[in-house]
Structure 1
Amino acid sequence: MRLDFKHFLYGLFAVFAGPLSAQDLSPRAYVITPQNTNAVILTWAFFTGGINFNGSVPITGATGTYSVPSFSYYHSFDLLGRSANVTVSLPYGVGTFEGEVNEQHKSVYRSGLVDLVSRFSVNLLGGPAMPPREFMRWKQKTILGASLKVLAPTGQYSPEKIVNWGINRWAFKPELGYSERWGNWMLDAYGGAWFYTTNQAYYSVPLPKPQTEAPIGSFEGHISRNFGLGTWVSLDGNFWWGGVTSLSGIQNLASRQTSSRIGVTAAWRFTQHQSLKASYSDGTYVRFGGNYNNVQVAWQYSWLGWRLPR
């Protein structure tokens, strides 16, 4: 029975991190796990296509080809009788960016740390904190949860450079999540908003200036089907709006974002403790920002308790 339970646990559990922004596509983000579940995740994300600079610099036709490998750690615990978890992700970016600056073609290479991202999530309905044996008998129906993502300004940043991996400000995303399961099918829907502090040293000539960005609202939906323990496929989509930027208090209304993406995700558990996940997404309706292709591949190792299994 113990061996069967482990196969059940590690087949069900799939936590994978990637770049966290208004453009996230993260199926099954509110599925709960037993108390003291741990996972380490190695993710490689590749991006190619258009980029934007928040409408604050004179660059047109900007494109980028870059990859963002990241290391993440996940831990679940009991919070006042409810299932809760925390994830911390440290990404690193490498890529080439180009565009037209004052009618001259420019290209630049960047390599450095991307801003540290952490996420705290707690279940509000349908998923109490459970030890492994109790979790084994539990069947998901309707789940409601809440989360808070925090982006810390730890990435590479210089006010003298137009292209940086960091954004030089804090960002916070409170979110509510819903998950419903019918047999092998699962529906997920999340709604939230990003809030940003001021970047006091944004690129500007001749001297850096303070830049602010209005909140960005986001909605995300997924429909997925199980094909075995830990093996599933999901159709993903999102929509986000807002984010008007201001430089020294002067708004740029052309920087308002109203865009969406669609994608597909597949996960496969291939051993008792290990899983793989791959995803692809592309912009569908793009008014400003989000016009790029993205491929991600992630490897995950999961275990129960504070000691690694032998």
Structure 2
Amino acid sequence: MLALATAFYAVLPARSGLAQHCASASAVLILSVIAPTAHAQDIEPRAYSNAPVGVNFMIAGIVGTRGGLSTDPSIPLTDARLETSNIVLAYARVLDVGGKSGKFDIIVPYTRLDGSANYQGDPVERDVAGFGRSAFRLSVNLFGAPALSMQEFRGWKQDLIIGASLQVSPPGGQYDGSKLVNIGSNRWSFKPEIGISKARGPWTLEAQAAATFFTDNNDFFGGRTRSQRPLYSMQGHVIYNFRSGKWLSVDGTWFAGGRSTIDDRLSNDLQQNWRMGMTLAIPVDQLNSIKLSASSGVSARTGNNFDAIGLAWQYRWGGGL
């Protein structure tokens, strides 16, 4: 799968340090663009980074997936040959949260899905387009990343950052209860997460741990009620920052749990999945950057792996720029 996020600006040498810091801050949104409808599987380097208070980010991205059902990998499909094409719009703003840096972001995807699969031995085909699950997130850097003005940010250097976030996805988007394969999922999800980021020279090491909780879907595939247990995830990133302002990240994520119950009958869909990917962020100028990323399933207990690739453009403004 591919995500993109933002690397910022390779500008004048006197500002190169600021460019690298802003590049790390900008990635807060775009990793969710990687898998715009499968938030539990997001691979997101630099989610907990610092940037000047008041800076805004606008992101537009395209993401393609092939293989399993990326919109809801917990549905145990076999022989899946599904493809999605996603257009994703996102906005983020850097906040001062009690003297600590924080961010608010919102992501809205539009998806075209088509292909076929088998479900419990029966063939399933789908060709549909519509809005996917939007996501809203508030994150706060609890340690190591104070709220700074643009002028203060010029002299700041990252060491150890510890942060936390809460992402909420409402039950919006395309959904048809008579169909098994959908873009939306007709339920709320809540994803609290903690993250740590340690910089040393040109290298940054990161780790994140999260749990995603789901409300019931009372209109699942013919009017049944589908409940799902929490889905637990961990991800890690090894990032190299180039002098030019570019950065490259090798990413991995593991998630497990999420077993579902349909009308009080426990399903055999416990997830234990691994995904790997890479992310490359390239500054264009002071206000614009692009990000490329790709990821693939390494293993999946339910057999519902998929590959993804994406590209995103980011524009930033405000905060004294």
TM-score scaled by structure 1?
0.91
Contact 1:259–1:289 (CA<8 Å) still a contact in 2? no
State how far apart, in whole Å, the 1-side matches of 2:17 and 2:198 are: 23
- Offset of residue 160 of structure 1: 1.3
Q: Deviations over 1:144-183 (max 9, x none)?
A: 0000111111111111122211110000000000000001
State how far apart, in whole Å, the 1-side matches of 2:42 and 2:254 are: 10
Matched, 1:298 2:312: yes
Aligned to 1:170: 188
- Offset of residue 99 of structure 1: 2.0
Aligned to 1:82: 100
Q: Deviations over 1:20-78 (max 9, x none)?
A: 5221111111011110010100011110012367457xx64232111111100010111
- Offset of residue 248 of structure 1: 1.0
Aligned to 1:276: 290
State how far apart, in whole Å, the 2-side matches of 1:229 and 1:68 are: 30
Q: Classify the secondary structure of the residue corresponding to 2:174.
A: coil
Structure having the larger proportion of residues in strand: 1
Aligned to 2:18: 8
Q: Deviations over 1:230-252 (max 9, x none)?
A: 31000000100000000111111
Aligned to 2:81: 63
Change over 3 Å in CA distance of 1:35–1:101 after alignment to 2:
closer
Range with greater deviation from structure 2 (15-24 or 223-232): 15-24
Range with greater deviation from structure 2 (283-292 or 106-115): 283-292
Q: Deviations over 1:231-274 (max 9, x none)?
A: 1000000100000000111111x200001101111000011100
- Offset of residue 290 of structure 1: 5.0
Q: Classify the secondary structure of the residue corresponding to 1:76.
A: strand
Matched, 1:212 2:222: no
Larger Rg: 1
Return the match for 1:263 from 277, 280, 300. 277
Counterparts of 1:121-136 in structure 2, within 5 Å, are 121-136=139-154
Q: Give the counterpart letter for 2:98 in structure 1.
A: L
Contact 1:261–1:290 (CA<8 Å) still a contact in 2? no
State how far apart, in whole Å, the 1-side matches of 2:139 and 2:120 are: 46
- Offset of residue 286 of structure 1: 1.4
Q: Give the counterpart letter for 1:244 in structure 2.
A: R
Q: Classify the secondary structure of the residue corresponding to 2:261.
A: strand
- Offset of residue 224 of structure 1: 0.6
Range with greater deviation from structure 2 (271-280 or 15-24): 15-24
Q: Give the counterpart letter for 2:232 in structure 1.
A: G
Aligned to 2:8: none
Q: Deviations over 1:121-151 (max 9, x none)?
A: 0010001101011111000000000001111
Return the match for 1:161 from 170, 176, 179. 179
Change over 3 Å in CA distance of 1:243–1:102 after alignment to 2:
closer
Cα RMSD after superposing both structures: 2.1
* Structure 1, unaligned runs of 5 or more: none
Matched, 1:226 2:244: no
Change over 3 Å in CA distance of 1:144–1:25 after alignment to 2:
same
- Offset of residue 106 of structure 1: 4.5
Change over 3 Å in CA distance of 1:6–1:40 after alignment to 2:
farther
Change over 3 Å in CA distance of 1:149–1:290 after alignment to 2:
farther
**Larger RCO of the pair (alpha carbons < 8 Å, separation 6+):** 2
Contact 1:7–1:272 (CA<8 Å) still a contact in 2? no
Change over 3 Å in CA distance of 1:12–1:287 after alignment to 2:
closer
State how far apart, in whole Å, the 1-side matches of 2:303 and 2:61 are: 23
Q: Give the counterpart letter for 1:287 in structure 2.
A: R
Identity %: 34
Matched, 1:248 2:258: no
Return the match for 1:147 from 161, 165, 178. 165
State how far apart, in whole Å, the 1-side matches of 2:221 and 2:232 are: 25
State how far apart, in whole Å, the 2-side matches of 1:112 and 1:210 are: 23
Range with greater deviation from structure 2 (133-142 or 8-17): 8-17
Q: Classify the secondary structure of the residue corresponding to 2:153.
A: helix
Aligned residues: 300
Range with greater deviation from structure 2 (59-68 or 166-175): 59-68
Q: Deviations over 1:274-308 (max 9, x none)?
A: 011000111112112551111011100012239xx
Change over 3 Å in CA distance of 1:123–1:290 after alignment to 2:
farther
- Offset of residue 6 of structure 1: 8.8
Return the match for 1:99 from 117, 132, 141. 117
